Structure 1
């Protein structure tokens, strides 16, 4: 306490004032001098007591901050009394609570990152193992020509799958990291649907599926055309995959004062109730998924839509098809 320069100066001034007052008191009487001297000693003593108490509280705050820096956020220093120290304590507690929440979020991010790395490793392991086996088989000089052709074809399929998987993972990582700059263009939904349909027309034609589009030409939304088309494509791929040959996929869209709505539905085999809560979780594969399915397309669609102030939900009944309902809100609500 006495090492503080301000305290030293204040104590010196109080002593000088007390000495001067006592000296002046002697000119009046010895009783006056003694009264001034005793009063000065009491005042200086009170100064010492309250200053020491104040420094003890500051020392407690310093210890509290050291514990916070060590990662202990369990202490509570809130003070309901008046005064600048009480205000400081309450503000420190607010910062501590915020740091505790951030620490908890960081732990969750670390856990999610660990799980994601584990899932990615598992997803990459399967095609890589298959490719290594086929590469070993292709090195056999006595391999028949038809088998060699078959292995090369399978190897190309695995390479395409690996390329798609890595590309999808990069897209997800960019969205999660917030590095994607989504444009805010005026998009005509009819044009968006046509762009999204182009890459899936061949798979639909192979399965002899039909598509019905219903919506007015004036319906529009604000968003990024390319990324939104990516989301719609992934949803359409899911519908095509889970719809039987000769099935039907319908796309309808409308607009009101609050949001623009796009509904994509199929009459396929549907999704079981057990799988519905998890279909937008990355790497999740439902009971009806194909063996080649990775479980990342709907996760990408969900991330793209939600990042653009949108919302997506799904309704499905086993054996009666699935209905995806997408809403792009006109303002944050």
Structure 2
């Protein structure tokens, strides 16, 4: 503390004025007054020194605390309930420390998610790439007949489309995760939304001779992004179509009340096992009854799109009975 030039100057000034007071009292001819001024000066200088030492000790503690923060230790708590500028400084430092700790945890979680995502993407791309390399080698063989060449070309095209869909879906998910997508807030008629979502699935449903029953209030609506919400419903309906046997039936029900607009999608397909239910919205998760072509990304994308628009989605299912998806878009989130 005493090595600080400001403190040296401060105590020098105090000593100077104390000495000046003593000399002034002595010059006025009062020895008792001179001794009184001297005693009071000693007490004031000592008190000031103790107080300054205490402040320096507290500041030194804060300095050590900040040093630990710079080394990544966010567990210390310096809050106190006393009044004063040091207490306010401690409280502000604690707030900053808490924020830094949260950001650090978020960065670690994002890093883990990125590592897992890269691993999953590599795994998903490895299979079609290997298949394409094999078929490319086979196509280079001039001895294969035209029928085989056509078959290999068709399979190669299928794998290319699968990779294109996978990369496109991962790009969409990455944008949603990063928060770079600005979802629109426009009135959406549920009837229009369902029609838009069913349009690309009519051919697969016709091939499997599946029926769809739609019932609901024609005026039911909510505020959201039509195109992105349709993308979510397409993935949910696609999952229902894939897991419903030929000749099966899909049902869509929708209602609106003062709190939320609800869309319910039902099928009478193979259902989802109890152990798979908690995980079906996880990225790259494939249930026990998933097809070989399944990637496990469609429902994860649907979940991200719906929840990013202050919505909610739940699923109930029984094996060999069917699956029910409940989707709610709330009027206002408190």
Distance in 1 (alpha carbons) for counterparts of 2:83 and 2:225? 53
What residue number does 1:25 align with? Answer: 25
Gaps of 5+ in 1: none
Deviation of 1:2 (Å): 4.6
Query: Could you give the per-residue CA deviations for residues 64-118 of structure 1, whole angstroms, max 9, x where no partner exists?
Result: 1111011111222222333221222122122212222221222111111111110
- Asked if residue 187 in structure 1 is aligned to residue 177 in structure 2, the reply is no
Distance in 1 (alpha carbons) for counterparts of 2:328 and 2:152? 45
What residue number does 2:102 align with? Answer: 101
Query: Could you give the per-residue CA deviations for residues 178-220 of structure 1, whole angstroms, max 9, x where no partner exists?
Result: 0111111111110111111110000000000000010121111
Deviation of 1:9 (Å): 5.0
User: Per the alignment, in what secondary structure is the counterpart of residue 28 of structure 1?
Assistant: coil
What residue number does 1:124 align with? Answer: 125
Query: Could you give the per-residue CA deviations for residues 267-295 of structure 1, whole angstroms, max 9, x where no partner exists?
Result: 00100000000000010000111010000
User: Per the alignment, in what secondary structure is the counterpart of residue 272 of structure 2?
Assistant: coil
What residue number does 1:34 align with? Answer: 35
Distance in 1 (alpha carbons) for counterparts of 2:33 and 2:223? 86
Distance in 2 (alpha carbons) for counterparts of 1:266 and 1:222? 26
Distance in 1 (alpha carbons) for counterparts of 2:74 and 2:189? 51
Deviation of 1:5 (Å): 6.0
Distance in 2 (alpha carbons) for counterparts of 1:231 and 1:124? 23
Distance in 1 (alpha carbons) for counterparts of 2:283 and 2:277? 13
- Asked if residue 324 in structure 1 is aligned to residue 303 in structure 2, the reply is no
What residue number does 2:169 align with? Answer: 168
Distance in 1 (alpha carbons) for counterparts of 2:201 and 2:270? 19
Query: Could you give the per-residue CA deviations for residues 114-172 of structure 1, whole angstroms, max 9, x where no partner exists?
Result: 11110000001110100000000000011111111110110011011011101100010
What residue number does 2:14 align with? Answer: 14
Distance in 2 (alpha carbons) for counterparts of 1:109 and 1:234? 25
Distance in 2 (alpha carbons) for counterparts of 1:64 and 1:99? 14
User: Per the alignment, in what secondary structure is the counterpart of residue 294 of structure 2?
Assistant: coil
User: Per the alignment, in what secondary structure is the counterpart of residue 125 of structure 2?
Assistant: helix
Of stretches 225-234 and 98-107 in structure 1, the one that deviates more from structure 2 is 98-107
Distance in 2 (alpha carbons) for counterparts of 1:329 and 1:28? 89
Aligned residue-pair number: 333
User: Per the alignment, in what secondary structure is the counterpart of residue 81 of structure 2?
Assistant: coil
Gaps of 5+ in 2: none
Distance in 2 (alpha carbons) for counterparts of 1:75 and 1:272? 46
Alignment of 1:277-316 (within 5 A): 277-316=278-317
What residue number does 1:147 align with? Answer: 148
TM-score (norm: length of structure 2): 0.96
- Asked if residue 66 in structure 1 is aligned to residue 47 in structure 2, the reply is no
